[in-house]
Amino acid sequence: MIDFDAMVDNFLEREQWQKKAGRYYPSEIGTCIRKLWYSYKHPVTISGEARKIFHMGDMIHRFAADVMRSDKNPDIELLEEELSIKLNMENFIISGRIDDILLVKQKNEKVLVEVKSCKSVDALKKPGDQHVIQLQFYMHVSKINKGIVLYLEKNTLKSRVFEVEYSEQIAEDLIKRFSIFHKLLISNTLPKPEARGTWICDYCDYKNKCDNDED
């Protein structure tokens, strides 16, 4: 009998790259800064289940791009897909990837799109803070002031869209947060436990270390 679960695990298995101080990613900075610090100092192996979740997210994004690219939707034009972007600071680099850039033809307006998968769009009242932060960085670097976070339900492909306006203040605070994190990382200084006592701790790989304030 074929063990397809094992085949999927084999297919998705890949060498895990080591994070390096000095190169950071906007998808991470919205989380607890101590958790992020630990991920550089004490990286953990990505589980097979996590790889499947990440791959499902990639599949959802490819579907969204196909929909936006289709000539069945003539009111928009997909200008860019998976566009690499980076910001060079004095001592470090922030790099990421814009999911999509659309042209809304009626308004002749460019819009950044951040695509996320979720279990249920009906449960969403607002976009996730981390997703907004990520989009704000992309808007700041690309100079495109309009953005949306597009959520797609995994089982039904139902969607929910949240519009996000560029905020220079949020972008500046984000970059400042990267600068603080960089200084803590290179000086080997353990950050404060920002998420301690919240639900985030229950799912953190570093809960035991954090509870004991280990560096």
pLDDT of 21 = 92
pLDDT of 53 = 84
pLDDT of 15 = 63
Given a cut of 70, the residues of the chain with pLDDT beneath it are: 15-17
pLDDT of 14 = 74
| CB distance 90 to 144 below 8 Å | no
Residue 12 DSSP code: H
For residue 28, count other CB atoms closer than 10 A to its CB.
19
| CB distance 159 to 151 below 8 Å | yes
Model's pTM, two decimal places? 0.90
pLDDT of 185 = 96
Lookup: tokens for 142 = 């690309």
Domain 24-211 has CATH 3.30.70.120: no
When computed from its CA atoms, the radius of gyration of the chain, rounded to whole angstroms, is 19
The domain segmentation of the chain, as residue ranges, is: 24-211
DSSP string, 91-149: S-EEEEEEEEEEEETTTTEEEEEEEEEES-STT-SS--HHHHHHHHHHHHHHT--EEEE
For β-strands 23-24 and 93-104, DSSP reports them as: parallel
| CB distance 64 to 46 below 8 Å | no
Q: Which is it for the CA torsion 46, 52, 56, 62, positive or negative?
A: positive
**To the nearest 10°, the Cα dihedral for 212, 199, 98, 89?**
-30
Distance CA 90, CA 10 (A): 41
Distance CA 38, CA 21 (A): 12
* Placement of tokens 């560029």 in the chain: 166
For residue 52, count other CB atoms closer than 10 A to its CB.
14
Lookup: tokens for 32 = 């607890």
